[in-house]
Chains A and B, each alone.
Chain A
Amino acid sequence: MTPPILKVENLRIAFGGVAAADGVELEIAAGEFMAIIGPNGAGKTTFLNLCTGYVKPATGSVLFEGRDITGLSPRAITRRGIARAFQIPQLFAGHSLLENVMLALAARHGIRQVLAPLDREAYRVEGRALLELVGLETAAGQPVSELPEGMRKLADIALALALKPRLLLMDEPTSGVSAQEKYALMGTLMQVLKTEGITALFVEHDMEIVRTYAGRVLVWDSGKVLASGAPEAVLADERVIRSVVGAV
């Protein structure tokens, strides 16, 4: 049996007495496309923060490809192969979209270059190809601060993809994206993830997106995993409807 790409054991953390993760146990197999759903404040984003080192757990461990990454910095975890896209896009406002992607590419290839320019042929070609993949090639030269929210969201995902991660964690990838663009974005994203062999975990509030694209759904409630399984079964579960879907 293939070992899980991500394994979480007895993960606990609380903020001011409110549990955001309360003894969470979880395994994600390589190649999975898993959605996390749950009401606001359930601890979904905190879980991503725990997995990527932004928050250290009080107890428990996070294993990536069998190795313990608990307590490591976001930088160290990123270097091991986990990339992240944020709920609020995290971009470099002073740079153009292509420069943002080129900076991510430079980070992957080694940032410690002090005399060769960032703006070089190899990065330009790879950067433009990546932007084409997420449908942003026409905005390559634009400052990211001038892009609409949906495009900024895609740009944030493009930065994560530029790192060629083995596991991608996304926090509400379709929020801020127009209703008609959501499915195009997710379709493209699924194709890229499959082609590149990237396992993904995404927090989502749109149940139709979850139903259409997730291979497995994890329901989060008050820091605990309430249910887990195939979307059809989980989304039809009485408890889930009552505590989560009804609250969304």
Chain B
Amino acid sequence: MPIVVLAVLAALVALLPAAVPWLRFVFIITIASGFAALGVAVLLRAGLISIGHALFYAVGAYAVAFLMRATGTTDLFLLLAAAVVVSGLAGLVVGAFMVRYRAIFFAMLNLAVSMVVFSLLSKLYGLTGGSDGMRVATPTLVGSALDREAFNAVFLYVVIGLFVAAGILVQLYFRSPMGEALAAVETNEVRLEYLGVSVRGVLLSAYVLSAMLAGLGGAIAGIAIGHVVPEMAYWTESGHFVLVAVLGGIAGPAGPFIGAIFLEVLRTLASGFAAETWNLVVGVALLLVIFFLPEGLYGIGAKLFRRRGAQ
């Protein structure tokens, strides 16, 4: 079922921009935030809410900018791979501390660390460009330099490919012993320890994975926008990722991407038809999902699929 949803989503996202070219950029940014929301969703499976994952989103984005500036690397795939590695390392360092905490303490500590990084990015002007941020040039694709428009056309399909690959890998992880143990953390940590399983080890591996996903999202956003700014680490961005994950649902990896697309469409329509009150529209939509779709938007498809399966 999750693979079918992923395939349908990927086909939709792949075909639409061919007809409407300006959608390319919107889709790239939407998928980028879907990656970060997927990272949040990984931790939500253990019942942990991170309100600080914009930290890794920014780490991924700035890793690309720094790598370009410091080493002159321009290859898209090298930049993305480096961003994932750097975000994973950041996740390992921060996560080693975070996995000791639960519930509100986990959420608030993530928020605190992300705000420290936001402040550092804003204040270290000489290094990060401060609030002006850093420019990200258009990368090369396997040695070929393309103009921004042509690059974005290809980049969209690269991003869709990554989205499908990440979705499949995360789904395999969810079904693996480690992934099932992650879900078991929420229901019975004591029993897990009494099975000889390190709960902190399970959580740390999930934290690193979630940081890598958020970092990949940040790198994609930075490359697509051509600019990285400290606001990428700001707490409202983290809140946005949580919102996307909850809207989409965490039962499968497609959920956060569905949430990201839904929110983007809703935001576009709401700002077009109710410019003054679009935040209210988004808030009402979230409340409706929380009250009537506890499994998120993904849950609608999953429920239909289960019903058909039962018949």
B251-306: which have CB < 8 Å to A? none
Contact yes or no, A103 B180, CB < 8 A: yes
Q: Does A91 contact B (CB under 8 A)?
A: yes
Q: Report whether over half of chain A's contact residues are helix, strand or loop; otherwise say mixed.
A: loop
Which of chain B's residues have a CB closer than 8 A to the CB of A79?
196
Question: Count of chain A residues with Cβ under 8 Å from any Cβ of B?
Answer: 33
- A74 vs B186: C-alpha distance when bound (angstroms): 18
Contact yes or no, B176 A116, CB < 8 A: yes
Q: Does A191 contact B (CB under 8 A)?
A: no
Among A29-37, A104-112, A228-236, A237-245, the one that faces the other chain is A104-112
Question: Count of chain B residues with Cβ under 8 Å from any Cβ of A?
Answer: 26
Most buried by A among B169, B176, B181: B176
- A181 vs B187: C-alpha distance when bound (angstroms): 28
Contact yes or no, A113 B177, CB < 8 A: yes
Q: Are A103 and B194 CB-contacts (below 8 A) given A113-B177, A116-B176? A: no
Q: Does B151 contact A (CB under 8 A)?
A: no
Among B25-33, B54-62, B197-205, B231-239, the one that faces the other chain is B197-205
Q: Does B121 contact A (CB under 8 A)?
A: no
Which of chain B's residues have a CB closer than 8 A to the CB of A95?
180, 183-184, 187
- A106 vs B176: C-alpha distance when bound (angstroms): 10
Contact yes or no, A163 B179, CB < 8 A: no
B31-49: which have CB < 8 Å to A? none
- A114 vs B208: C-alpha distance when bound (angstroms): 13
Known pairs A103-B184, A114-B173 / 15 extra A-B pairs, C-beta < 8 Å: A78-B194, A78-B196, A90-B188, A92-B183, A92-B187, A92-B188, A94-B184, A95-B180, A103-B195, A107-B177, A108-B195, A108-B196, A110-B177, A114-B172, A159-B191
Residues in B lying within 8 Å of A, measured CB to CB: 169, 172-173, 175-181, 183-184, 186-188, 190-198, 202, 205
5 pairs of A and B residues whose beta carbons are closest in the complex: A106-B177, A107-B195, A90-B191, A78-B196, A79-B196
- 25 CB contacts below 8 A, A to B, read A73-B193, A75-B196, A75-B198, A78-B193, A78-B194, A84-B194, A90-B188, A91-B188, A92-B188, A92-B191, A93-B188, A94-B184, A99-B180, A103-B177, A106-B177, A108-B195, A111-B177, A112-B178, A113-B178, A114-B172, A114-B179, A114-B205, A115-B173, A118-B177, A159-B191
